Amino acid sequence: MKKTANILFFVLSFSVAFAQPVEKLYKVVVAPDHFDWNYKSGENVKFTISVLQNGNLVKNARVRYEIGPEKMEPTKKETITLPSGSITLDGGTMKTGGFLRCIAIAEIDGKEYRNLATAGFDPLTIQPTVENPADFDTFWQTAKADLAKIPMDAKMTLLPERCTETVNVYHLNLQNFRNGTRLYGILCVPKKEGKYPALLHVPGAGVRAYGGDIANAAKGIITLQIGIHGVPVTMDPSNYLDLGAGALNGYMNYGSDDRDRFYYKRVYLGCVRANDFLTSLPQYDGSNLAVTGGSQGGALSIITAALDPRVKWLGAFYPALSDVTGYLKGRAGGWPHYFDKNALAYNNKPEKITTLGYYDVVNFARRVKVPGYYSWGFNDETCPPTSMYASYNVISAPKELYLALETGHWTYPEQHEKMTGWLVKKLSNK
């Protein structure tokens, strides 16, 4: 029963992170007047708000809406009745690259139904706000050199209940960035004798169990799905709930006033350590290694590819930790929103701003040298597109961006199919 609960917890956690929203009885549809949701700076956008039931407009629907730059105070808001069930509004424009968002909420029978749409204005012109520390490369070169001195001390525990006819599944336990600290994950290795490429899965935010990527291992790829918190990833779900509400609550803020004590230092180096292990396996083919993830994992995919020259390809969904200082310049910043109105008083200190420069995805994106496949939507309220484009636009390596415009912090199955297809093709040299 305990093993079943762990697997179920993984499935539920994965679903929360990537599944599309549940359908509702009434639908609020918000749409810009350009099919591709893209506009030139200075060009006006019109937003159409419609309220539907059974595919038909709901007459006299009561709606409140707001329009403004994403994550900023709205420049226009109003509560109106829609006699026909639909209305088209003048949303205004933006004078520079960015995103203008319309949020609409209909109240029907005491319940609220919400949706949004986001118009992009010259998004490929958006540039970062975060500082690029002069000693950034030296800092991380030193950190990696220190990591290399720490014995890996790898321990693999076979999980027979998860193994298949073609794949062995292990709980992996490595020593991380200093003696006594550990990194855990689920390793999946093809049973058939041979040499295989490797794929590292880096996690989204939170604390949870993991099930491992058995599906891609069955295709002939060694896969490793890691946690970042130094705790086993096969425990009972209640343990993760306790950690998430207790010791690891707000981990993304720990030590943010000191670049050497910041929590993410162990995380970033842990991703490199995971690759140390993968590339040491006798089944590894010696040359083909990729990394992928979404949100915090999207950030870690870019970071790992920049830090570790052994990585040949990266796949990132909606990368977090991107251009976090955007709020200090009057625009949206990336998750975890260190400088938005709710956290500004706590984080707006010189030492924290300095530290974050060494960890912002933008500064790793500048240093990415390998091909990457990226995917996100314009309606993401967790990782604002302004912040993601700030990172994407400074990448000089080959890159592909697959937009699913209306998605928020979730994905359609088609996005995962394209990402997986791209990674498998690259790793398999097909």
Catalytic residues: 295, 380, 409
381 and 340 Cβ atoms separated by less than 8 Å: no
HSE, side-chain direction, 13 A CA sphere, residue 57? 13
The DSSP symbol for 21 reads P
> Following DSSP, what letter does each residue of 312-372 receive, concatenated?
-EEEEES-SSSSGGGGGGTS---TT-TTSTTTHHHH-SHHHHHHHHTT-HHHHHTT--S-E
DSSP assignments along 217-237, one per residue? HTTT-EEEEE-SSSS-SSS-H
Omega cis (within 30) before 336: yes
Give the type of residue at 185: G
C-alpha angle 74-76-82 in degrees, rounded to nearest 5:
125
57/61 Cα distance (integer angstroms): 9
Give the three-state DSSP class for 184. strand
DSSP string for 269-324: HHHHHHHHHHHHSTTEEEEEEEEEEETHHHHHHHHHHHH-TT--EEEEES-SSSSG
How far lies 90's CA from each of 46, 61, 68, 414, in Å?
A: 5, 19, 12, 32
Residues with Cβ within 8 Å of residue 391, at least 6 apart in sequence: 128, 302, 319, 322, 323, 361, 362, 365
Q: Strand 313-317 vs strand 284-294: parallel, antiparallel, or unpaired?
A: parallel
Task: For tokens 């910043």, name the residue.
Answer: 333
Alpha helices by DSSP H, listed for 154-295, are 214-217, 237-245, 263-280
Q: Which amino acid is at 412?
A: Y
Rounded to whole angstroms, what are the CA distances from 411 to 36, 417, 422? Answer: 18, 11, 16
Query: Phi and psi of 101, rounded to 5°?
Result: -120, 140
- Residue 100 near residue 118 (C-beta atoms within 8 A): yes
Tokens 């490595």 map to which residue? Answer: 174
Give the three-class secondary structure for 131: coil
